[in-house]
Amino acid sequence: MRQLATIRTVLETRPIEGADMIELAVVDGWKCVTKKGEYQAGDAVIYCEIDSFLPVREEFEFLRKSSLRTLDDREGFRLRTVKLRGQISQGLLVHPSILGRSFVIGEDVTVELGIVKYEAPIPACLGGDVVGGFPVFIEKTDEERIQNLAVDYESFRGKEFYVSEKIDGTSFTAFCNEGTFGVCGRNWQLAEDPSNSHWRVVRETDLQSRMTRLNRSFAIQGEMVGPDIQQNRYCLKTPTVFVFNVYDISAAAYVEKSEMETICRELALATVPPLGIKYVPDDMDSILKLAEGKSELNANAEREGLVWVFGSGNERISFKTISNRFLAKGGD
């Protein structure tokens, strides 16, 4: 489960130009606007990430006017990227005293605080019956944000990574495992349903037959975009899958990018837009700046960000950089 609330250390505080009452606190790779003087370098804090859905409790009531939402019929507060006095702020810092106990740096307190990940309501075209949970024989895709890898950044600096555009859609997985075919969203295997967009893609691309003919146990993983999906910011007319991974079930490992591209050609599927090989720059601000730009799928749309991959198999390193410009304009 994603660690949405963890005990961390404030690295430094910085002034915000033209602001007398607020300042910037830096925690790992994250920057949060706070009240001036509330935190000092070296202070322990609970850092709550963006995408967190906080429960209704006194410590979070100041968020009511800006962040009140409903998730699964209960009220709470959704944390999003915001801009204050021209400064991007991502997440929330809270004093660990709200735990009422001792703590250690690095501790995950997500469950203890009743925090869950905010999930937007599922459009009707993505609903339907489920067969079961996401298959245990396939690795789920959920790249870590670079801001959470600040301690590892030194080992990435200067290395060549394969970079592709991160597409803003919904998760799509299709698999063949020892002759059995299945289709999944992010968390569930989906029953075949003519009204479901995942299965619509399968039918329209003849994907089940194409994957079966390859006579191997593997899964393709991608992002599905199109009508009624994440605002359809790319203005596509039909649901379309862009593949970013092929997972070899027998080897329990992702295949190399060249093999993924070959398999996608055989399946007549597009891959996410490649941006080629890039060096990891010297600092966190620079790599986040690289995430900004227009989408290769639609020049009028801001891209969500980039995915960086180095190596393959058990040596594979990967992470994502989300565009702050995309987030500041209301991207999820």
**Is the CB of residue 270 less than 8 Å from the CB of residue 243?**
yes
**How many whole angstroms from its chain centre is CA 296?**
19
Domain end (from 83, 117, 151): 117
Domain at 200, CATH number: 3.30.470.30
For the chain, state the CA radius of gyration.
Answer: 21
Give the Cα separation of 251 and 267 in Å (integer). Answer: 20
Alpha helices in 127-275 (DSSP H): 153-156, 197-205, 207-213, 257-267
Question: How big is the CA angle at 85 (ends 81 and 86), to the nearest 5 degrees?
Answer: 65
- The HSE-up count of residue 324 (CA atoms within 13 Å, CB side) is 20
Are 16 and 164 part of one and the same domain? no
57 C-beta neighbours (distance < 10 Å), count: 12
Helix, strand or coil, per DSSP, at residue 11 = coil
Do 129 and 24 share a structural domain? Answer: no
Q: Which domain holds residue 21?
A: 5-117
The tens place of each residue's pLDDT in the chain, 332 residues long, gives 689 999 999 999 999 998 999 999 999 999 999 999 999 999 999 999 999 999 999 999 999 999 999 998 899 999 999 988 889 999 999 999 999 999 999 999 999 999 999 987 777 667 778 889 999 999 987 789 999 999 999 999 999 999 999 999 999 999 999 989 999 998 899 999 888 899 999 999 999 999 999 999 999 999 999 988 888 999 999 999 999 999 999 999 999 999 999 999 999 999 999 999 999 999 999 999 999 999 999 999 999 999 999 987 767 899 999 999 999 876 65
Spatial distance between the Cα atoms of 306 and 11, rounded to a whole number of angstroms: 26
What is the residue whose two structure tokens read 């735990």? 99
pLDDT value of residue 121? 74
Domain count, the chain: 2
pTM: 0.86
148 & 280 share domain: yes
Q: Are residues 109 and 254 in the same domain?
A: no
Q: Residue 310: enclosing H or E segment and its boundaries? A: strand 305-310
**CATH number for the domain harbouring residue 19:** 2.40.50
Q: How many CB atoms lie within 10 A of CB 268?
A: 10
Residues 142, 161: Cα–Cα separation, whole Å: 18
If residue 318 lies in a helix (H) or strand (E), which one and from where to where? strand 317-322
Are 272 and 194 found together in one domain?
Answer: yes
Q: Are residues 76 and 133 in the same domain?
A: no
246 and 220 part of one domain: yes
Tokens of 219: 């899964």
Measured CA to CA in angstroms, residue 32 lies from 14, 39, 81, 273 at distances of 10, 11, 10, 31
Instruction: Please say which residue of 117, 145, 173 terminates a domain.
Output: 117
pLDDT, position 331: 63
